[in-house]
Amino acid sequence: MSDDIQKVTRPGYGRRTYILDREFQLKYILLLGGIGAGSILVFGLLAHRVHVSSVASGMDGAETLLWLTGLGTLGMAVALGLFGLLFTHRVAGPVHVMGLYVAALAAGRYPRLRPLRKGDELKRFFERFSEAFDRIRQREAEEAHALESALAALKGVATTPEAREALDTLSALHHRKRQAVDNPTGGNFKSVA
């Protein structure tokens, strides 16, 4: 009986939404579809022309069609490769920059965030990322201010060695938070953002 209850209460984790960012995804779906359709159209028109001319002249156009197919395949590979390079650069660049920012955050620093390049993708995600980053920095600043107030209030009443040691710990924590918030790093990210 407990197996039946366990089977019923398990949530399903199937993902059925394929279009998550309509503008971004449709842009590249239509672009790739257009490149594919355009190249097939050009290939078909050229193949038809070869066929018509070979029938009109009474010659066999099979070798010409084979060469045309090879050149069309090579041309399509080059075009899609160049498009892939451009597209991945527009996505990989922002991901790389955000990775550097996350590494700096993990190290306890708050770098100055710079906007993405004009042609970069993931701009809405980067905006959300920047908002979260700013909120974390603001919370650190508020905590540093609270520590500063607590240190000022407790400084005169800390008479025992344990209390002074606790104040030193709080003071070090305050100094680390204040330094992280007040001295953002920025030089490491010039080449990527």
Residues 97 and 193: beta-carbon distance below 8 Å: yes
Higher per-residue pLDDT: 46 or 17: 46
Tokens standing for 107? 């190290």
Q: How far apart are CA 19 and CA 2, in angstroms?
A: 38
Angle between helices 123-154 and 161-182 (to 10 degrees): 150
Question: Which positions ≥6 away from 36 have C-beta within 8 Å?
Answer: 76
- Degrees to nearest 5, angle at CA 18 with 7 and 100: 100
**Residues 117-143, mean pLDDT to the nearest whole number:** 92
**Residues 50-55, mean pLDDT to the nearest whole number:** 88
Please tell me the pTM assigned to this model: 0.65
Q: Which of 74, 91, 78, 76 is closest to 28 using CA atoms?
A: 91
pLDDT at 105 over 80: yes
Q: State pLDDT tens for residues 143-164.
A: 999 999 999 999 888 889 999 9
Would you kindly state where each structural domain of the chain is located, as residue ranges?
18-189
- pLDDT reported for residue 193: 37
